[in-house]
Structure 1
Amino acid sequence: MFLSRHLVRELSRHSATPIPALRPLSTVSSLLNSRHKSPSLGDITPESVSSYKANLAAYRQKLKAASAAAAAEAAQAASAAGTVKSLLYGSPAAQKEEIEMEQSYGKVLARGKYVHEIVLHKVKPERVAEYVEMIGEEYPKIAEDKDNNVHLVGSWKVEIGEADTFVHIWEYNGYAGYHQTLNRLSTQKSYQKYATTLPNLITSRTHDLMQEFSFWPTSPPRSLGGIFELRTYTLHPGNLLEWEQHWRRGLEARKNVMEGVGAWFTQVGSLNTVHHLWQFGDLRERQLAREASWSKKGWSETVHKTVPLIGKMQSRILVPLPWSPVR
């Protein structure tokens, strides 16, 4: 299920647990006692899978209600505006071109509004506990500081893939927000301590700046449980637009059997790279969901058309850290 930014506000109105329009780290205070624990696949139990399914069903029901409310509100507004607009701007035929132009510009603006950063830390095995404790202290501070122009999408530990690797995804309010946040953090003593300590705990790190696909907005904070899969595709240069067109259609086949978190393409760093993040109850649920996708109309065609565009692909199974807003 893919959540539009407009529906985040509607979900807050229809949910007992409001979902903020932006992504402040609103759940940190309740997790202070557990945020230093390094999670693992061993934490996933049959009971937690059942809980994930119940949480997902409730989340989708809220989304459905919010979508209906938003549609009704939009229809009412359009009806009221239509009478005035017909008087001011002429016939519906004359308005069509203007509407199409507004939609085109809207898509362009939506793409440029947010900049996402994906950070990968390869941690020394003997320093994992120290690393988790350190970022468990620092990352919540960064995310909760309203003067920073950034929100934490989530933090995860790789369980299948590169061992002792941690993945963090941040959302900035454009490149201006990215620069403003880094400049502000560089003057803070706690961040300076973090920046000088981190190199002693890791063997490598990468930072890529990404843009989310316009048809797949990044999820707001939610707590469904389960595991995550980060799929990374390195495309042959020049194929991103074609990839996007095929994937836009292919996701229609998957949206009811798999729960998406976000999809991004790299703009600075490892170019021609696409990341997709999914959420499942456990590995068995992942298997069943992926198998079910093949029975959906359009999915096999999507795979057939996108595989030739790929130079390399990678799958990582992740578990969320306790303070992760998406978990």
Structure 2
Amino acid sequence: MPSRPTPLTALRARPRPLPSSLVTSPRPRAFPTSLVPRAAALSTTAQRASVKDYAAAFLHGSEEAKEHLKQQHSKLVGRHKYVHELQRHQVLPQHVEQYKKLIEGYYRGIHESSEFDARLTGSWEIVVGDVDTFVHIWEYQGLGGFERTKAAIRESRGHLQFFNHEILPLINSRNSQLCTEFKFFPVTDPQERGGLYELRTYDLKPGALLEWEHEWRGGLEARIAAGHTPVACWYAGIGKLHTVHMIWHYASLEARREIRAASWLNDKWSNTVSRTVPLTQSMTSNILKALPYSPMR
């Protein structure tokens, strides 16, 4: 179990700068020779059917190849160094202030204890969007770290009793997802920036993750050039699937408006949008305010 400094403010995350080069696309697939129709041995109807199958395989990939590609999505786009748990607590409105006080002490205790293999990345309150909702992001050393931490919390009567008796009655609903960082967009160092954060969530069409990642990766440079500050980007591996979460930092809502307007002056960004929107089923934006104890704030 890794040791960590006791004070929350002493947190220093591993440096993980945004890569200057983009991840290369996978090699083009070679089609097996068995796909090529042997016209001389086929009837006219069979020839047409076989040629049609070959054309479909050439344009879209064989069914076997497509299935293999789906299985490789995670390996192709994911960083897999850490697992991040994205928690959402929808709090009863009359208990918001009480919740903020109690959750700070509870999460500080977990973060600062060597008993748990977990590191708090950030805690925020949604101030525009799904109000009365709080977002907490935890980092674990892989799925093993997640499982060890949850087991330790269950076995610790003090932690579990406090949450169940003091905090849980204040929460109307809650959910969590286990997410993986994209290779091209790892989580930045927790630091004090001020301003505000935006959490954007994209619900993708099933099977569209790899294509979406390829297209969006190409537009990231245009976003940064316009003044956007990327913080993190994940895709969900457990929980609500086919979901991508991004966090951006802005000095203010007005600064966000100006930067977003500047993005549209770059053809590369508008082209990215036109290619990724058809792959997306829905999009959600929430404006976040970091809580005082949040490492990322």
SS at match of 1:126: helix
Q: In structure 2, how many angstroms separate the alpha carbons of the residues matched to 1:110 and 1:118?
A: 16
Q: Which amino acid aligns with 2:182?
A: F
Query: Which residue matches 2:123?
Result: 155
SS at match of 1:169: strand
Unaligned runs of 5+ in 1: 1-21, 30-62, 69-106
SS at match of 2:262: helix
Q: In structure 2, how many angstroms separate the alpha carbons of the residues matched to 1:243 and 1:275?
A: 13
Q: In structure 1, how many angstroms separate the alpha carbons of the residues matched to 2:273 and 2:78?
A: 27
Q: Which amino acid aligns with 1:208?
A: Q
Written as runs of structure 1 = structure 2, the 5 A alignment for 1:237-252 is: 237-252=206-221
Q: Which amino acid aligns with 1:176?
A: G
2:221 counterpart of 1:272 = no
Give deviations 1:6-49, integer Å, cap 9, x for gaps.
xxxxxxxxxxxxxxxx99685448xxxxxxxxxxxxxxxxxxxx
Alpha-carbon distance, 1:200 to partner:
0.6
Query: Which residue matches 2:138?
Result: 170
The one of 125, 130, 138 equivalent to 2:106 is 138
2:97 counterpart of 1:125 = no
Query: Which residue matches 2:149?
Result: 181
SS at match of 1:217: coil
Q: How has the CA–CA distance of structure 1 residues 287 and 23 changed in structure 2, closer, same or farther, with 3 Å as cutoff?
A: farther
Alpha-carbon distance, 1:146 to partner:
3.0
SS at match of 2:184: coil
**In 2, are the aligned partners of 1:250 and 1:299 still within 8 Å (CA)?**
yes
Alpha-carbon distance, 1:148 to partner:
2.0
Alpha-carbon distance, 1:283 to partner:
0.3
Alpha-carbon distance, 1:220 to partner:
1.6
SS at match of 2:108: helix
Alpha-carbon distance, 1:247 to partner:
1.1
**In 1, are the aligned partners of 2:8 and 2:108 still within 8 Å (CA)?**
no
Q: In structure 1, how many angstroms separate the alpha carbons of the residues matched to 2:116 and 2:76?
A: 25
Written as runs of structure 1 = structure 2, the 5 A alignment for 1:13-52 is: 26-28=7-9
How large is the RMSD of aligned CA atoms in angstroms?
2.8
Q: In structure 2, how many angstroms separate the alpha carbons of the residues matched to 1:284 and 1:25?
A: 37
TM-score, scaled relative to structure 1: 0.67
Give deviations 1:275-300, integer Å, cap 9, x for gaps.
01001011000001111111234101
The one of 90, 98, 111 equivalent to 2:79 is 111
Q: Which amino acid aligns with 2:260?
A: R
The one of 188, 205, 208 equivalent to 1:236 is 205
Q: How has the CA–CA distance of structure 1 residues 109 and 314 changed in structure 2, closer, same or farther, with 3 Å as cutoff?
A: closer
Query: Which residue matches 1:258?
Result: 228
2:275 counterpart of 1:309 = no
Give deviations 1:93-119, integer Å, cap 9, x for gaps.
xxxxxxxxxxxxxx7697222111110
Give deviations 1:126-184, integer Å, cap 9, x for gaps.
11111111111011111112342211110000001111000011111100000011111
Alpha-carbon distance, 1:219 to partner:
1.4
SS at match of 1:112: coil
Q: In structure 2, how many angstroms separate the alpha carbons of the residues matched to 1:242 and 1:109?
A: 10
**In 2, are the aligned partners of 1:225 and 1:281 still within 8 Å (CA)?**
yes
Query: Which residue matches 1:199?
Result: 168
Q: Which amino acid aligns with 2:218?
A: R
TM-score, scaled relative to structure 2: 0.74
Q: In structure 2, how many angstroms separate the alpha carbons of the residues matched to 1:111 and 1:139?
A: 26
**In 2, are the aligned partners of 1:152 and 1:170 still within 8 Å (CA)?**
yes
